[in-house]
Amino acid sequence: MNHFFISLLAMFFFVSCSTPKSENLCDTENAKFIPNLLFRFLIKDKSYQCGYKLNSNPPACELNYEETHLDANWPAVKKEMESQFLLGSGPEESLIQYRPEAINAVISSSYPAFQGALNAPNGNVYIVPYYSPKILEVDPINKSFSIMGTFSESVERIGGALGPAGILYFAPHLVADFYAFDTNNKSLSILGNETMAGSAYNGAIYAPNGKIYYVPSTETSIRYYDTNTKTIGQVATPTSGGFSTGVLTPQGKIYFIPLVSTSMYILDTKDDSVTTHPYVFPGGSAYISGILTPNGRIYMIPHSVAEILYLDLATNEIVLAGSVPSPGSSMFNGAVLAPNGKIYPIPENYSNFISFDTKDHTIKTLFPRPAGSYRGGALGPDGEIYLAPHIANRFDLIQTGSLGRFCQSLRLSPYWNKL
């Protein structure tokens, strides 16, 4: 049907016998003005014309992942996520060993291997090295894997983020180099280097202004890599303490989750201004992860405290959401939001996998953690979570039982595709 209308409009456009009052196609009295707009609407041309953009509020799954974190697109993202949440869960969660190989045999290393996992536009999941000398690439469709890259067997980087054009940006930790990995041609490069403190950064965030912001650990400066100018810079206002990760909100702000710090720092990426939240956090390795949910909350997953907190972005209030059963130290490292509306904290030293339902704050113990530990994970196309093995010597995933699915635009979205 669309082909018929396109042909008709094209014929009308070129054969119109009306004499335009102006050769300016932005003149509404031009006979070609309406046919041109209709033609562009039918072919879903999203470029600007005459200061306006057609189809400016498309569904979330029609967006490129680089558009999902723009403020104007949040209503569509929120709507799509909530529609998947409503589908709920089917089968009980399970832990699946999806490959028989041992991790240490694959990477030829017995060190703690990985921390963090990221989705890429090519459909693959990339598991980020910790001590591993290699990046682990997993194809979630056929469960095959490849190894690539060359690193020294030290904690050169911790976590990172997917930036524009399929490039992964790794956060420097014990090195001065800022690494990037191009998932299109599987090439590793160094963007630059800076003189920094040891254990400098934990993770990164891709902001709407095109900058990759790095989360301070022992560093007091919030540094960034500007993907537009290809330069490394830093925010003027320093931080204090240390942070485990950052959470981007639709307002373009990054909330740094306090690990050692007793304050939550907030970076407004529109002008690089920095403020703090008045709530006093316990410090002492308290919180390890933060998850944005479509109801406008940031949930904070504990590392060595019992309390799960959330920040209500509408009221700026921090609220107790629940407590981890039988808490201990270094319990979790990373967390993933699934299409059933549940958050799955990734166990480091905690003896079990658990789920936290954002709908009613129910905490459920799922199954025992195998020997070893995990740090971070990435959501697959069928609602499964690919775990980043740290000391665990296995290829594992969590089958969440989600009946809904997040389309690729959401799985790659800078809101969630980071550590």
Name the band, by pLDDT with cuts 50, 70 and 90, for residue 156.
confident
Torsion on CA atoms 130, 135, 140, 145, rounded to nearest 10: -120
| C-alpha–C-alpha distance, residues 119 and 371, integer Å | 26
Residue in 94, 105, 178 with CA at minimum distance from that of residue 389: 105
Residue in 329, 407, 331, 419 with CA at minimum distance from that of residue 377: 419
Residue 37's pLDDT is: 54
Residue 5's pLDDT is: 43
Residue in 34, 130, 53 with CA at minimum distance from that of residue 348: 130
| C-alpha–C-alpha distance, residues 40 and 380, integer Å | 34
* Residue limits of CATH 2.130.10.10 in the chain: 85-411
| C-alpha–C-alpha distance, residues 379 and 381, integer Å | 7
Residue 373's pLDDT is: 97
Contact 359, 365 (CB under 8 A): no
- Count how many Cα atoms sit within 13 Å of the Cα of residue 51 in the half-sphere of its side chain: 2
Name the band, by pLDDT with cuts 50, 70 and 90, for residue 150.
confident
| C-alpha–C-alpha distance, residues 277 and 113, integer Å | 35
The answer to whether the Cα torsion of 100, 385, 138, 330 is positive or negative is: negative
Percent of the chain surpassing pLDDT 90: 83
Say which residue, 49 or 367, is predicted with more confidence. 367
Q: Is the pLDDT of residue 4 over 80?
A: no
Q: Look at strands 211-216 and 201-206 and give their pairing.
A: antiparallel
Instruction: Kindly report which listed range (171-175, 180-184, 207-211) carries the lowest average pLDDT score.
Output: 171-175
| C-alpha–C-alpha distance, residues 77 and 80, integer Å | 5
- Residues in a beta bridge with 204: 214
| C-alpha–C-alpha distance, residues 399 and 383, integer Å | 7
Say which residue, 57 or 285, is predicted with more confidence. 285
Q: Could you tell me the CA-to-CA distances from 130 to 37, 172, 200, 363, 372 in Å, in that order?
A: 52, 11, 14, 30, 15
Residue 2's pLDDT is: 47
Residue 151's pLDDT is: 86
Tell me the residue ranges of DSSP E strands in 175-230.
177-182, 187-193, 201-206, 211-216, 223-226
Which tens digits make up the pLDDT trace of 42-100? 555 554 455 444 556 899 999 999 999 999 999 999 999 999 999 999 999 999 999 99
pTM, entire model: 0.88
CB atoms closer than 10 angstroms to residue 192 = 11
Name the band, by pLDDT with cuts 50, 70 and 90, for residue 40.
low
DSSP H helices, 16-68, are 33-42
- Count how many Cα atoms sit within 13 Å of the Cα of residue 4 in the half-sphere of its side chain: 1
Residue in 283, 386, 277 with CA at minimum distance from that of residue 336: 386
Which tens digits make up the pLDDT trace of 184-209? 999 999 999 999 988 999 999 999 99
| C-alpha–C-alpha distance, residues 108 and 89, integer Å | 38
Q: Which CATH class is domain 85-411?
A: mainly beta
